Structure 1
Amino acid sequence: MSKYVEGEATVHLQDLVEGTETVEDFLDGLSEFAASTLSHFAGTDIECGVTLQRRRKTMTVAGSSPTAVMLDQIEQSLGEGPCIEALRTKTMVLLADVATDPRWPEYQEQLAAHGCRSTLGVPLEIGDDSTAALNFFAPATGVFTAEVVSEAAGLADIAGRALRLAVRIGTAQTRAEDLQAAMEHRTSIDLACGVVMAQNRCSQEDAMAILTRVSSNRNQKLRDVAAEVLGNVTGEEIHTHFEG
């Protein structure tokens, strides 16, 4: 990553830190910026999901699009894949071709079914008892070249610093509440998935696809669609609880 590009990215993420009220909002902006930046270098559209790990529990907390959230959620539901491996080893993990790599056959089969052909997991250091990772998804093989991977590493270094800054701005209690809020919104999405599964007698993957499609068609955040689904079932606002 050139000094100029690095400087531009640093300024953008600092502005993002200053312009967002919560860590969760920052993560949404981070995923969109990371996807846009790497897409520019790769010359093709790349999606980005953000996975948060607290006390050995991982969860998708943000995505550059509803599709990115869905693809990242596949890995979380299976409990294995390049992003989770990146969190475990604290190194970047490349899945260059979902059709030929032998490591995660079930995960790769599901990615292929959704048009994703390669992925790259990039760890971010937050500190304390939390870590995060960027999960990049590409529609073709050969996208994550050595140059693109190098750019991803440079971006991750800057993003990690910005995320640490975002986390440190509030008090320790505020930090915990922000990270927990991200987890709780994911819990509401999982609950809404269960409702859709029961109503349509379909699989979790199909239910997630339905929610994602509604989110995309309405141009509405997936968590808001989930909240509406749950509200329609109970007739009142739903509050989810996640204990780390």
Structure 2
Amino acid sequence: MAEQNGSGDPVTEQLVRQLDDVTGAVERLSRTLDQDEDLDVILRRVCLQAIHAIPEADLATVTMVGDGTPKTAAVSHDHAVHLDGHQYRSGQGPCLESARTKKVVRVSVTEAHQRWPAFASSAAGSGVASFLSAPLFIDEEYHGSLNLYGEKEHGFHALDAALLELYTAAAEAALRAARRYRQSLEHIGQLKEALGSRAVIDQAKGILMAVRRVDAEVAFRLLVEQSQRENVKVRELAVRFVATAVEVGG
């Protein structure tokens, strides 16, 4: 007879294994974030690691509804996108309810027929018998749900729902950090571009001031007027102007 307490308890051992699976999935996801990949690639890895974290899951997708219209941002397997699509077209289903209510949704295919008949009917024949969705919130632009699909009816248990919620919370924190990092890189790039633009524009202004014997304000106005006539950006005109001046001067 198995011990009721301690490491010999099979229930405890199973829980420890599943917690280890979730921890391992989060660690692998964290290593992915260090690779400086696009968010779409990272979201697909979220799907793949979720399947490792929840053994009963056969397919995984990420639904995003940041613009008010649901769309599938990532899938573990290409054909999984159709399961999300059935929900989008019918306007009902576990992924949409989880994204809307910000709660974990766990149902069997029988329960799905009772709660969302239009979705369940359209998804019939897909081979999926269990659904588990958890809300996924990165920021106002990126939020929705992480969705798991299983082939076994009643394949997902309350423990699976709790573990998915734990995994999703960790994934959200990691994704927010990655999102902020990439936004910072974009801002730095924009700042560098702006500084570069200002430098070349100042050079062009200096040349005009010397040639036309005008002040800085008039020189800049001349550049703006010329850019409007040619329908090009002031920076592009300034680059061309400086290059021409250097060629003539050389």
Normalised to the residue count of structure 2, the TM-score between the two structures is: 0.62
Residue 25 of structure 1: how far off its partner (Å) = 0.8
Which is bigger in relative contact order (C-alpha 8 A, separation at least 6)? 1
Corresponding residue for residue 208 of structure 2: none
- Name the SS for the 1:113 alignment partner: coil
The answer to whether 1:89 aligns with 2:105 is no
Change (3 A) 1:25 1:140: same
Given candidates 83, 108, 123, the residue that maps to 2:120 is: 108
Q: Indicate the percent of aligned positions where both proteins have the same amino acid.
A: 25
Asked if the contact 1:95–1:101 (Cα under 8 Å) also holds between the matched residues in 2, the reply is no
C-alpha change, 1:98 and 1:166, in structure 2 (3 Å) is farther
Match of 1:63 in 2: 75
The residue type equivalent to 2:52 in the other structure is S
* Aligned partner (choices 74, 78, 82) of residue 86 of structure 2: 74
Structure 1 runs of 4+ off > 4 angstroms?
1-6, 172-175
Counterpart amino acid of residue 141 in structure 1: E
**Structure 1 pair 155–70 and aligned structure 2 pair: CA distance change class (3 A):** same
| Corresponding pairs, count | 171
Distance 1:10 1:37, change over 3 A: closer
Find the partner of 1:11 among 27, 37, 45: 27
Q: Distance in 2 between matches of 1:9 and 1:141?
A: 25
**Contact 1:98 / 1:109 at 8 angstroms: preserved in 2?**
no
SS in 2 for 1:122: strand
CA distance in 2, matches of 1:136, 1:92: 11
Measured against aligned partners, the alpha-carbon deviations of 1:34-91 in whole angstroms (never above 9, x if no partner) come to 123212xx3xx52101101113221011100012122122212222211111111100
Task: Report the RMSD for the aligned CA atoms in angstroms.
Answer: 2.3
Which residue of 44, 48, 51 corresponds with 1:35?
51
Partner of 1:189: none
Q: Structure 1 length normalisation: TM-score?
A: 0.63
Residue 139 in structure 1 maps to residue 164 in structure 2? no
Q: Which has the larger radius of gyration?
A: 2
| More moved, 65-74 vs 2-11 | 2-11
